[in-house]
């Protein structure tokens, strides 16, 4: 199933078969889990990047004040 299929089901879900509804539910559940997993990974990456940046910036500032 594709996201376009789910959108079509959503437009008229009250008149769709149980099979179509369960297929849409399966697709949405899988999409939710993938999205959640990506957000967790991206959050971790963002925090790591920020910490690395701050560490290097702090060292750079120390060197700038000692050399100037």
The one-digit pLDDT tens for each residue of the chain (68 residues) are 999 999 999 999 999 999 999 999 999 999 999 999 999 999 999 999 999 999 999 999 999 987 65
The model's pTM is 0.74
Full residue range of the structural domain in which residue 38 is found:
3-67
Quote the number of domains for the chain: 1
- The DSSP code sequence of 8-60 is HHHHTGGGS-HHHHHHHHHHHHHHHHHHHHHHHHHHHHHHHHHHHHHHHHHHH
């Amino acid at each position: 199933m594709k996201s376009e299929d789910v959108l079509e089901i959503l437009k008229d879900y009250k008149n769709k078969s149980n099979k179509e509804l369960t297929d849409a539910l399966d697709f949405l559940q899988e999409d939710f889990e993938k999205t959640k997993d990506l957000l967790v990974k991206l959050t971790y990456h963002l925090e790591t990047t920020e910490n690395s940046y701050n560490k290097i910036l702090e060292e750079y500032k120390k060197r700038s004040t000692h050399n100037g």
